[in-house]
A = this chain, B = another copy of it.
Amino acid sequence: MQDIIKIGYKDKIEDFILKIRDKIPLFICILGNTETAKIPGISAAGANSEITDYTPAADMEYILYNECRCIEGIPLTPNGIPTPAIITKAVLDLSDIPFLIGIGGINVYPNAPYIKFGGKGGNNISNGNAVDNPIEIFENARIFGNSISKLTDYIVVGESIAGGTTTALGVLTAMGYNAMNKISSSLKINPIKLKKKIINEGFKKKNLIKGDLKNKPFKAIEFFGDPMQPALLGLIIGVAKEKPVLLAGGTQMTAILALIKSINSEILKNIAIGTTRWILSDKESDIKGIIDQINPKIPILGANLNFSGMNYDGLKAYEQGAVKEGVGAGGIVVSSILSKINQLNIKKIQKKINNNYHNLIKKLL
């Protein structure tokens, strides 16, 4: 069984792998909050809706300190399902990959060093005014990306934002893509009807219909996006002219690809998606179906993670469709395996995830 699932044009996939193979990337995780996540039923990233503000900061603290500092307790849902940061942390624990935190716009900051791009927490997209200053955030992230591109062979960029698939759907729809039944969810049962309702409310407020913002990427973010998006977008635009970018995430990253296409389609050839098997095999979403509308040549590299043999139900829940992706989990696994420097593979990484989970629940006893 292959450790990395490859989807797309074979030559494009091999070209991209050739560029990053045997190299160590810089991993940057961009954090965001959106009031959209607090709509009941929209996100699994947090036990209750107010707690979604804390999720990104808690993820970062868990990775850095093996515990959360901005909240009491440990990063598990009440059912014991862990944040996907448990995957990211396992890879960073086992490898020499340097890791930086970027702030798209949040309400709760991690107790950690972070890079700011001038954003703040995003608003509920059903009001049609999601992000106040997307161009400022974009420009700052682009400048930072330009500097950082000189320091690394390539970057892996991930995100931590609750509600991010809903805002991605908002942006994709505004730009004219058919994504309504193709976007994923962190919940086992994708609340797609609720997502549609929220987006339709936003479009109504702005008197817009699908596709009206086809060539207005920053308006799409401003009205229906989230503050993680312009930061990630600027970072990628700043880096990808010079160095490859592995965009680490699930269906929500297709909104970033759509935004990139409308700003500088040329650089798409330096970008691939890195994600998880759970996203690629999800029957309720269709990442390839969205990417094909943007550019079918974009390679998709999937980490062939399988938690069915794990010792804990909290981890096995990933096999029933919980969580699936986030905090750059899939991409960082793919990247660490291709780098070869730490001789990692799926088996070693899964063993470390199992151990990290064991250490987490030990704290509960």
Residues of A within 8 A of B (CB): 24, 26, 64, 96, 98-100, 111-118, 136, 140-141, 143-144, 147-148, 150-152
Contacts and interface: CB of A to CB of B under 8 A. Distances in A.
A234 to B, nearest CB: 9
A116 B140 CA distance: 14
19 contacts: A24-B150, A26-B151, A96-B150, A98-B148, A98-B151, A100-B147, A111-B136, A112-B143, A113-B115, A113-B117, A113-B140, A113-B141, A113-B144, A114-B115, A114-B116, A115-B116, A116-B116, A151-B151, A151-B152
Contacts of A136: 111
Q: List the 5 shortest-distance A-B pairs measured between CB atoms, nearest first.
A: A113-B144, A113-B140, A98-B150, A151-B151, A98-B147
A144 B112 CA distance: 9
A143 B64 contact: yes
A98 B146 CA distance: 8
Contacts of A26: 151
Nearest to A234: B113
Contact of A99 (B24, B118, B147): B147
A162 to B, nearest CB: 22
A100 B111 CA distance: 20
Given A98-B148, A113-B140, A151-B151, 12 more contacts: A64-B143, A98-B147, A98-B150, A99-B147, A111-B136, A112-B140, A113-B116, A113-B117, A113-B141, A114-B115, A114-B116, A115-B115
Nearest to A118: B111
Nearest to A144: B113
Contacts of A96: 150
A147 B152 CA distance: 12
A148 B114 CA distance: 12
A115 B144 CA distance: 10
Contacts of A150: 24, 96, 98
A349 B284 CA distance: 60
Contacts of A24: 150
Interface centre among A64, A111, A113 (most CB of B within 10 A): A113
Contacts of A98: 147-148, 150-151
A117 B116 CA distance: 11
A152 B152 CA distance: 8
A100 B28 CA distance: 15
Nearest to A145: B113
A355 to B, nearest CB: 23
A90 to B, nearest CB: 18
A71 to B, nearest CB: 17
Contacts of A64: 143
Contacts of A100: 144, 147
A239 to B, nearest CB: 12
